[in-house]
Amino acid sequence: MRVTTSKSKNAESFYISKGYINDKGASTSVIVRKLGTLKELLLEHGPTRDDVMAWAKEEARLETLKYKQEQENKRIQITFHANRQLDYEKQIFFRGGYLFLQYIYYQMHIEKICRKLKLKYKFKYDINAILSDLIYARILEPSSKRASFKVASEFLEKPSYELHDVYRALDILGSECDLIQAEVYKNSHFLGNRNDKILYYDCSNYYFEIEQENGSKKYGKSKEHRPNPIIQMGLFMDGDGIPLAFSLFPRNANEQTSLKPLEKKVLGEFGCQKFIYCSDAGLGSEDIRCYNHMGERAYIVTQSMKKLKKEEKEWALNMQGFKKVSDDTPVDITQLSSDDKGLYYKDEPYTTKKLHQRLIITYSPKYALYQKSIRDKQIERAQKMLDSGNTKKNRKNPNDPARFIGTTAAAKEGKAADIYHYLDESKIAEESNYDGLYAVCTDLLEDEVRDILKVSEGRWQIEECFRIMKTDFSARPVYLQEENRIKAHFLICFLALTIYRFLEKKLDSNYTCEELLDALKTMNFVEVQEQGFIPTYKREPIMDALHDACGFRTDYQFITKSKMKTIQKESKGRK
C-alpha cells in the first residue's frame, strides 16, 4: 500500500492505493481508501502538508498490515486429484524443529563469530550455515557429517553449500576451537546473566572406530571395556548446568593434569576470576585444591573417607555429634528409622600439609539403605561365585563382588597347602561402616553448611551433560581421523549441548530431555502444491511452551510460503 495524491484547480486529495498485476499482465493500481482533501486533513493532522503526508503514510502502513492479516486468515482451497501421481523426486517433507534451536543460536550471535572467521581465512563457503546445520542435525538426528548434510537438506532452509565444504569447514572450526568457545561464552550473556560463580569440572572418555593408536587417540581404561583407542574430554559447567568450556587430552594422560590448562583459559580468555571450583574426589587432589585456593577462588570437593588419616577417619565414622542440616538441631542418628528422609551433618577443621580446610561429614538414612541394597546384591553374587568355584577377582574394578571373598591356606605335612575360599564377613562389616556417609572438603570456613552442600549436590548436572552428549547426541564413536576435525566434532557436540541447555532454561526446565528432544524431532511439515505448509505434529503443551519462549508460532492449520519465510526470519531475531 502507498499514498497517492491528485490535484484539481481547487483542491488536493489524498488516497491509499494498492498495486497489482491485472489479467493482461499489466501493472496497475486501485484506490483502497480516500483519506480526504488537504484542506480537510490540515485541520486534524496539520499544521503543515508534511504533517499530513506523515500521517497518511502511517495509515497506509496500517492498511498494509491489515491486508496481510486478512490474507493470512483467508480460507485456502487447494484441489487434489485422486488419479494424479506425485511429481518425480519432488521433496514435500520438511523438518521444522530446528527453528527453535536456531532462535537460541542467533540469540548467542554465533553468526558474528563465523563472520570473523570468514574475514580471517577468506574462504567462499558459508561457514555459518555449515556450523548451524551441523549443530541442529547433531541434536535432531545425530549421525556422521555426511548423513548430517542429508538431514540438513530436509530443513525448511536448504544448505547453500556442498558436502566437501563441510570437511573444509571442520579444519577451520577445529583450529579456532578455543577462540569460538571464548566468544560463545561472552555472547551467551545476551541470553541473561551466567551463573559463573560456581564452576563444576569433570572428565569423560570417548572411543574411536579405529584399531591403532594415533595422535591423542590412545588406549586406556573404558567403562564399556572396549578395545578401541580413546580420547578424554574435560568439561567446565556453570551453576545452572550450562557448559562453559572444554578441552581434549589423550586417554593415557592423568585427568588431573587436564584441569589447570583449561582453568587458565577460563581465567584469562573468559575473564572469570571469582568462582567456587567443585568436583569429585578424583579431581580434587591437594595440588588442585591449592590452585583453587588462590586469588578470589575457592573450592568444594568430595573427600574420600577411606583416604583420611586415622584420627580423622575415626571421627568421621563415629555416629555421634550430628545435626540436622535444615535447622542445626542435634540428632542421634543411631535412633533414626530407615525410612527417614532427612540429611544430617557434622564438621570440624581439617589441616593438611598445605591447607587449612573444613571437613563436612553428612549422613542420609535413605542413602544408607541404597548402599546396603547394592552391597546385598554383590554379596549374593559373591556367594554364587563361591558355589561355582569361580573366585577370580577383577583387580581393576573396586566394586567387583569378589572383594568379599577371603582366602586361607591349610598346611599339610609334606604336601602343598590347600587353598580355601570363604565369604569374608569382616570385609562386609567394614564396608557397612560407611553406609549413608559422605564427605566434603572446602576452604569456605565461614559459610553455612546447607549452602556448601547445595553446591556440592549440583555435580549431578555435569554427569547429565556427559550423558546427553554420549547418548542423545551420539558424540561417540568418533569416525574422524585428523586432529583438527576431531576437535571440530567435539566443538559441535559442545555447542549443541550449550544451545540445548539454554532452550531448556527458556522453558524453565519444565520438561525432561527426552520430552524436549521428542517434541523438536516431531515438529515437521508437509508442503502442499507449492502454496504453503501443513504441520504434521500433534499440538501439545510443550509445543505451546516452545512457541511462547521463542516468540513465533508454527501451529497453524496452514502456513503460506510467505508466512513461513517470516517465521524463519523471526527465528533469527529478524522482523
Instruction: For residues 284-302, give the mean pLDDT.
Output: 95
The pLDDT tens digits for 87-97 are 888 899 999 99
For residues 368 and 432, what is the distance between their CA atoms, to the nearest angstrom?
9
Predicted local confidence at residue 225, as pLDDT: 45
Name the percent of the chain lying above pLDDT 90.
74
CB contact at 8 A, 14 and 25:
no
pLDDT digits (tens, 9 = 90+) for 469-478: 999 998 877 7
**pLDDT of 496 above 50:** yes
Does a cis peptide bond (omega within 30 degrees of 0) precede residue 250? Answer: no
Strand partners, 205: 232
Tens digits of residue pLDDT in 156-207: 999 999 999 999 999 999 999 999 999 999 999 999 999 999 999 999 988 7
Domain locations along the chain: 2-72, 367-432
Tens digits of residue pLDDT in 549-569: 999 999 999 999 999 999 999
For residue 218, pLDDT beyond 60: no
Q: What is the pTM of this model?
A: 0.81
pLDDT for 239-274, tens place per residue?
999 999 999 988 667 888 889 999 999 999 999 999
pLDDT at 395 over 80: no
Q: b/e map of 19-58 (b: 16 or more CB within 10 Å)?
A: eeeeeeeeeeeeebeebbbbeebeeebeeeeeebbebbee
- Average pLDDT, whole number, for the chain? 90
Terminal-to-terminal C-alpha distance of the chain: 19
pLDDT of residue 210: 42
CA distance 254 to 259: 10
Please say if the pLDDT value at position 145 is more than 80: yes
pLDDT(542) > 90: yes
Distance between CA 107 and CA 98 in Å, rounded? 14
Residue 137 has pLDDT above 60, yes or no: yes
For the segment 344-359, the average pLDDT, to the nearest whole number, is: 94
Q: Count CB atoms within 10 A of the CB of residue 92.
A: 14
